[in-house]
Amino acid sequence: MLHGSILVFELLYPVELTPPFSFEIDFKVKDFLENIITQLIEGNYLNEERFAKAYTRGKFNQKGWGRIKIKQGLKFKNVSPVLIKKALQTIDLTDYMATLTQVIEKKERTLTEKNDRKRQYKLQQ
């Protein structure tokens, strides 16, 4: 009997067409996901500010990224400008300057330019 009902369904709805209930399934799935996301936000499991601060801390400490690159990364992740500013303020100025000094010293060791002006110019790039 099942075989006959499948045949009738195939005759009524050819393979090229989507079944009429796919819209209902899409709606239910979207509604279900929205409920889950809402619960995660209410439970503070999804927190954009915490993400921005963790992203900033990780990229600065692990990869040695500067503020501009971190800001670009957060913008790419669609973090609001207010939260980007808060996150960048978490970087300690002394740590930032120490990292900057290390980067400059590393670049200076790789330069082969003898002329001081050209050397300074290349260091600023």
Of the pLDDT bands very low, low, confident and very high (cuts 50, 70, 90), residue 95 is very high
* The pTM of the whole model exceeds 0.85: no
- pLDDT exceeds cutoff 90 at 125: no
Specify the fold of 37-91: Arc Repressor Mutant, subunit A (1.10.10)
3-state secondary structure the chain: CHHHHHHHHHHHCCCCCCCCCHHHHHHHHHHHHHHHHHHHHHCCCCCHHHHHHHHHHHHHHHHCCCHHHHHHHHHHCCCCHHHHHHHHCCCCHHHHHHHHHHHHHHHHHHCCCCCHHHHHHHHHC
Structural domain spans, the chain:
37-91, 92-124
Interval 35-64: pLDDT, tens: 889 998 889 888 999 999 999 999 999 998
- Give residue-wise pLDDT tens across range 98-124: 999 998 888 888 888 788 888 888 877
Identify the pLDDT of residue 11: 54
